[in-house]
Structure 1
Amino acid sequence: MQRTKWGGVVDGVSGSGFFRVAEHNGVFWLIDPDGGRFLSKGVNTIRFDQDHVGQTDRVPYAKACMAKYGSPHIWRAAAADRLARWNFNTVGCWSDELVAGAGSRLLASTPTTELGASFRLHRRDQIFPDVYDPEFSAHIRVSAEQRCKHRRNDPGLLGTFIDNELYWSPDWRGTDELLTLFLNLPSHRPGRIAAIAGLHEHYREFSQFNSVWRTQARSWDELGRIEHIAAPFVRLRPGVLNDALETKANLTDRAREAFSADCDAFVAVVADKYFELCVSAIKAADPNHLVLGSRFGYQPLSGVIAAAGRHLDVVSFNCYDFDPGPVIDAYAATGKPCLISEFSFRGDDAGLANSRGGGPRVPTQTERARAFEGYVAAALSKPNVVGYHWFEHADQPAEGRFDGEDSNFGLVTIDDQVYDELTQMMTKVNAAAERIHAAAVPAAV
């Protein structure tokens, strides 16, 4: 199988000089700058300075690599060549992007701009950025100009992630709905004003609204002034089983059904506005590269997925299951190619506690390698998948990193010793990826 310098399969297709997407016989692919049929096989957090211990200045991986290689420069070249030997072709999120060009083979890069997250950090009262705020539009335009424009002519940039794991609805971080979060912004915030206006337009009569929401207010004006609006119901995190339970609950309670509809309608509108503004800002600064989405941390509501599909070049999501198939199918509804931007398996024989961190635990490194094989084969059998990025390059500190995670996520130990069984399996599966994906059967329309 002849390959381009980027690792794509030579098909006699002319390259555009940049990565793009294409569909062939119902199967999606990336096309590399030289025209090669390409799947993004990536690793996240490829860094010399990966993971401080807690809130300290100690970086065990950097200490070990300094002793082993003598300098970050030599480490970059060694790390890049090792990844290429394992048939990876992409430097994933939070990595040292100098690794991409440090080895004997070129690697693509996929940075994140954190447009929404960086705006939220300016507004400490916001869990999700207020997309109705005129300052949000101004902020992301300036941020995209600063973070994207200088890369606009870089052939090695596969594409840009907008954000990482934003809060769209109840999840592991809390039970709040996006609608209630916006309703509880300070009264002068544009997002709160827009949320109340949307409810007013839908219900018209305040009494109809209050029969569902059961607030202490007696009018729309008073609703705009009260300090806290409590949700009348608490919904489960989205997912196949929970969605079925929610549907059953709504059938027995009309008020709950109306509340759910209010929340679903609002998050769909916010998502559409978020993706429209962010994609527009990035494309204005860099019209040559793909926008890869915002790395959904879990499968959000269908209205959010639909909004992503309307605006993105590629929909990205993190999926820490043994079988990613059902989640991939949910995103396939967009009709857009999808990228698994984070997944992993942790082995309990690595000498780490694995007490914090996402994803399944398995007893041994042998089972870890088999889990990778099964996961990637299942993903590549789906026609809309164009890549998969493993989390992450090196193990986390036994004492825990900044958020306490202490897991065996690495391809290498914290002393830079290779996990042979896992990387040998990765080498084999990565080499066969295009053949597996070419055999994917398009879903019936």
Structure 2
Amino acid sequence: MNRTPFSLFAALWLAGAGAVSAVENTPLPPGKLRTSGSASAVYSGNGALTVTINRPHSNPEIRIFAPEGGKYWDMSRGKYFAADVTNLSHDRQARLFLLLRTEVPGNKGHLNAGIALNPGETRTLRVALPHQWKYATPEKIPGQRTIDTARIVSIDFNLKGWYEPLEPELVRCRLSNIRLEGKLTPEENASPIHMKGFYPFSDLYGQYVHGDWPEKIHSDADLKKEFEREKAELAASVRPAEWDEYGGWKNGPQLAATGSFRVEKYKGKWYFVDPAGHLFFSHGLDVLIKHTDPVKIDGHEHWFPAEIKPWVYSHRGATCYQATERSLQVKYGKKDYDDDFYKTLAKRLEHWGFNSVGDWGSPDLMAQGKTPYTLQLTDFDWTMPRLGKKFYDVYDPVYQDKMKNLFKIAAERNPMVYKSVDDPMCIGYFIDNELDFGNRRNFAFLRDVMTASADKSAKKAFVAGLRVKYGTVEALNKAWETGYRDWEALLSSNTVPKSRGLRIDMEQFFSRTVELYFRMCRDAVKSAAPDRLYLGCRFLSLDATRPELAVPCAKYADVSSSNIYGHTPANFRVEGMPDRPILIGEFQFSTSLPGRGRFAPNIVAGSTEKERATAYLRYLQGALLHPNIVGAHWFQFRDQPLTGRSDGEGFQTGFVDIADTPYREMTAMSREIGENMYRYRINGKYSDGMKSE
């Protein structure tokens, strides 16, 4: 079997880390501390900083300002910012989020990164500094964000995206040896904006021209050579020995075999159970399709080389280029390569240790019959009557009619939906993604209902319920401290009274509304496919820990799905929540500069692919040891386009790059996880690698 074992992988990682630490270091002196929320911090005699976050709510944060006499931290000549971090807990993982804050507001003015550590572990949080003087490019060029590293206002540590329980000392870490690594001289490293011939900056393969990395494709011959290497590796690969035909734990306990996926609690931990009756942890990838968004070139043809002209086409009224499409045609030697690609992809997943197709997978991959899959019956439907930013008016007859016919509508769009009803490889169905129910931002649901027009179905349902409760408008006015003339006046009003009575009534209506939503979703699944699982609505992190959402979801969904964007889900809140299985629908990590080209970082986990792979390991270890988490799906299979997808995202978050070259550090790590995840989960102990003692 031609693959990198973990012991060798770890050695390579340590060698890489050592190479970085061997460069010139510039210690940063202790700065002025300011804490907020439930965070505290104290310097010890040797300059180390002990950080504690108690009961993480109200945005706990530690900010380190420049020492007396200085307004800014000047990091303009360092290559990396680094700090050694020790998790002082003896029994749980810790995560910490770093923010290098400038005076420019919003994400474009800051640099963020983060780390997760096992109990007692010390590791370096390292991020490459995106200097404006080195990496700035002409205006309106999408891609890597840069910051003014000479004017860093503060070095901040927090949790960001809090979803943990309100516990004392949830995070207790020691930060030491805070430093700059490497030395850069601005005069010797001119920004690409000053280069002669900056344009075109994207090559034929969709890669950044002004950057290089070992796996970069320079010619069609490189593409073919890399593909031959990978084909030989896949041919030599064998299926993980612990897996049954579904990717479940063949050598684990034998439970009832029902012929369908289900969920069951076993020895204090929730699991999927596969059709053969074996425990199943869903280790998957999202967006498993041949390529993602095409790049629009209208108005900026000079970004691209002239060689793309034979490959340019019209898409939705725009002139587009799909670099990955061209690369795949070259790799497979033909235009109609889909069947070969998806056969290769199915083998890739097995070789990489993935046993699940996450959301937005291709029907062509599912039809291979090799890998269990999930389906989404609908993403958020913007054509439906809405209430607020991203939620439906679930009382509207148009929406209710759609939900009664949702399965049929989805099957007409995707024939795999019909097949999935009787396909044991189908795990179940998602409905929607990252809804905004209106319970964030000071209970926006209240405003959305009260300011709605009189013909809005949700408002009519609310007022109808009030008439039943109060009987007369006078009784309502007394409870709300208002002066409505009659019920029609309330329906027609678009003002929001400041009333405790209104708040109580709206909270009750919100509860009924959310329950109605989940009940209709459950019915949409079970009426058509009673043997398949309803996997929830893919909450956005914190929403899954709100009782007003978690309770009705658990009442109707077989599994609560949540997109948990942090560096570990290990401490994901379950206290006070329904005891239900949780499936992580999305998570991801990027590297910071230099990366592979100019992809923008998103959830940064270090400066190298080795550090990104270690972050992936820690995340999965946290998920595996959590008693309620039954799977985790990485978003997404392929890097996003260099110049951004349709909504502007251009993140380096793939297991393969834009030219379809695998990130070998990531695939070696995912294989290690896939081979050992069942015994690791059963053993229930953190360890550096996946092979539990």
TM-score (norm 1): 0.83
Structure scoring higher RCO (CA < 8 A, sep ≥ 6) equals 1
Is 1:324–1:379's contact at 8 Å kept on the other side of the alignment?
Answer: yes
- Of residues 67, 85, 109 in structure 1, which corresponds to 2:330? 67
1:177-209 C-alpha deviation (Å, 9 max, x unpaired)? 223223333311221112334456677744455
Greater per-residue strand proportion: 2
Map 1:181-196; keep pairs closer than 5 Å: 181-196=448-463
- Of residues 141, 144, 150 in structure 1, which corresponds to 2:404? 141
The separation in 1 between residues aligned to 2:462 and 2:385, in whole angstroms, is: 18
Is 1:352–1:407's contact at 8 Å kept on the other side of the alignment?
Answer: no
The separation in 1 between residues aligned to 2:521 and 2:386, in whole angstroms, is: 20
Match of 2:111 in 1: none
In structure 2, do the counterparts of structure 1 residues 210 and 340 end up closer, same or farther at CA, with 3 Å as the change threshold?
Answer: same
The alignment's C-alpha RMSD in Å is 2.8
SS in 2 for 1:387: strand
Is 1:179–1:266's contact at 8 Å kept on the other side of the alignment?
Answer: no
Map 1:63-142; keep pairs closer than 5 Å: 63-69=326-332, 70=334, 71-102=337-368, 106-114=370-378, 117-118=380-381, 120-123=382-385, 127-142=390-405
Query: Alpha-carbon deviation of 1:28?
Result: 1.2
Match of 2:54 in 1: none
Query: Alpha-carbon deviation of 1:217?
Result: 5.7
Is 2:639–2:656's contact at 8 Å kept on the other side of the alignment?
Answer: yes
Is 1:100–1:107's contact at 8 Å kept on the other side of the alignment?
Answer: yes
Is 1:91–1:107's contact at 8 Å kept on the other side of the alignment?
Answer: yes
In structure 2, do the counterparts of structure 1 residues 225 and 184 end up closer, same or farther at CA, with 3 Å as the change threshold?
Answer: same
The separation in 1 between residues aligned to 2:610 and 2:514, in whole angstroms, is: 41
Map 1:274-423; keep pairs closer than 5 Å: 274-300=517-543, 301-329=546-574, 333-348=577-592, 349-351=594-596, 353=598, 355=600, 359-423=603-667
Match of 2:282 in 1: 40
SS in 1 for 2:620: helix
Match of 2:63 in 1: none
Query: Alpha-carbon deviation of 1:422?
Result: 1.6
Q: Which moved more, 1:175-184 or 1:66-75?
A: 175-184
In structure 2, do the counterparts of structure 1 residues 181 and 165 end up closer, same or farther at CA, with 3 Å as the change threshold?
Answer: same
Query: Alpha-carbon deviation of 1:308?
Result: 0.3
SS in 1 for 2:245: coil
1:217-269 C-alpha deviation (Å, 9 max, x unpaired)? 6654322112x33586xxxxxxxxxxxxxxxxxxxxxx6x7666555433322
Query: Alpha-carbon deviation of 1:135?
Result: 3.2
In structure 2, do the counterparts of structure 1 residues 272 and 122 end up closer, same or farther at CA, with 3 Å as the change threshold?
Answer: closer
The separation in 1 between residues aligned to 2:460 and 2:645, in whole angstroms, is: 40
Map 1:221-232; keep pairs closer than 5 Å: 221-226=488-493, 228-230=494-496
Map 1:153-172; keep pairs closer than 5 Å: 153-169=422-438
Query: Alpha-carbon deviation of 1:337?
Result: 0.8
Is 1:47–1:96's contact at 8 Å kept on the other side of the alignment?
Answer: yes
1:60-101 C-alpha deviation (Å, 9 max, x unpaired)? 222222221231221111122111101101111111132134
SS in 1 for 2:291: coil
TM-score (norm 2): 0.54
Is 2:286–2:634's contact at 8 Å kept on the other side of the alignment?
Answer: yes
- Of residues 246, 262, 281 in structure 2, which corresponds to 1:6? 246
Taking every aligned residue pair, what percent have the same amino acid on both sides?
Answer: 27
1:306-336 C-alpha deviation (Å, 9 max, x unpaired)? 0000111111000000121333536x82211
Q: Which moved more, 1:292-301 or 1:129-138?
A: 129-138
Map 1:228-307; keep pairs closer than 5 Å: 228-230=494-496, 261=504, 264-300=507-543, 301-307=546-552
Q: Which moved more, 1:300-309 or 1:54-63?
A: 54-63
1:271-325 C-alpha deviation (Å, 9 max, x unpaired)? 1111111101210011111110010123223111100001111110000001213
Greater per-residue helix proportion: 1
Q: Does 1:178 align with 2:445?
A: yes
- The number of equivalent residue pairs is 406
Is 2:391–2:438's contact at 8 Å kept on the other side of the alignment?
Answer: no
The separation in 2 between residues aligned to 1:356 and 1:59, in whole angstroms, is: 22
Q: Does 1:18 align with 2:281?
A: no
SS in 2 for 1:140: helix
In structure 2, do the counterparts of structure 1 residues 432 and 265 end up closer, same or farther at CA, with 3 Å as the change threshold?
Answer: farther
In structure 2, do the counterparts of structure 1 residues 230 and 363 end up closer, same or farther at CA, with 3 Å as the change threshold?
Answer: farther
SS in 2 for 1:401: coil
SS in 2 for 1:112: strand
Structure 1 residues without counterparts, runs of 5 or longer: 233-254
Is 2:450–2:496's contact at 8 Å kept on the other side of the alignment?
Answer: no
